[in-house]
Amino acid sequence: MARYITLTLETRGVSCTARLLDDEAPRTASAVWDALPLSGQVFHGKYARNEIYNLVPAFGAAPGKENITITPIPGDVCYFAFDADDLGAPSYGYESEAGPGEMQNIVDLALFYGRNNLLINGDQGWIPGNVFATVVDGLTEMAAACQDVWMGGARGETLAFARSHED
């Protein structure tokens, strides 16, 4: 039975639907599903290219690495685990009220909406992510909204993840 989630840019009022990859990333898909709904300030990728993401406090047991990639494709939805020290460098540009703040363990939930992404960070090197879902509906509209986040700004925008339905 397939499970689906909805990713929404709340202020822009744009959503897409993704199918969880329960066969390829069962631990990650279950951890995220069990933690939903999750939302937070949206950020646009600075290093990876065509990516939007939010940062939320870690939830449940860390799933470890599974179905990892360093070259996500359009529609990939990825999970990354960090601790506060991983994201604390001033070069990341997080404002104290919008960034990791006091969180010790941080989960980054990301949507890749375009081609030619590469998960390398100038401070840390390769940052593989767990691909736990793939967008099955609404990617074109969401990609346009993501581009608006890049060009128009992320302030005041929230990226929300919620359960959608099961087949």
CA distance 132 to 126: 19
**Omega within 30 of 0 (cis) for the link into 100:** no
pLDDT for residue 105 = 85
Low-confidence ranges of the chain (pLDDT < 70): 84-103, 166-167
pLDDT for residue 98 = 43
99 in helix, strand or coil?
Answer: coil
pLDDT for residue 165 = 77
If phi over 0 gives left and psi between -120 and 50 gives alpha, with beta otherwise, what is residue 116?
left
CA distance 148 to 120: 23
The CATH number of residue 161's host domain is: 2.40.100.20
Tens digits of residue pLDDT in 12-41: 999 999 999 999 999 999 999 999 999 999
Q: How many domains does the chain have?
A: 1
Q: Report which secondary-structure segment, H or E, holds 111.
A: strand 105-112
Judge whether 12 and 129 are in contact, CB under 8 Å.
no
pLDDT for residue 86 = 64
pLDDT for residue 151 = 94
Residue ranges making up the domain that contains 83: 3-166
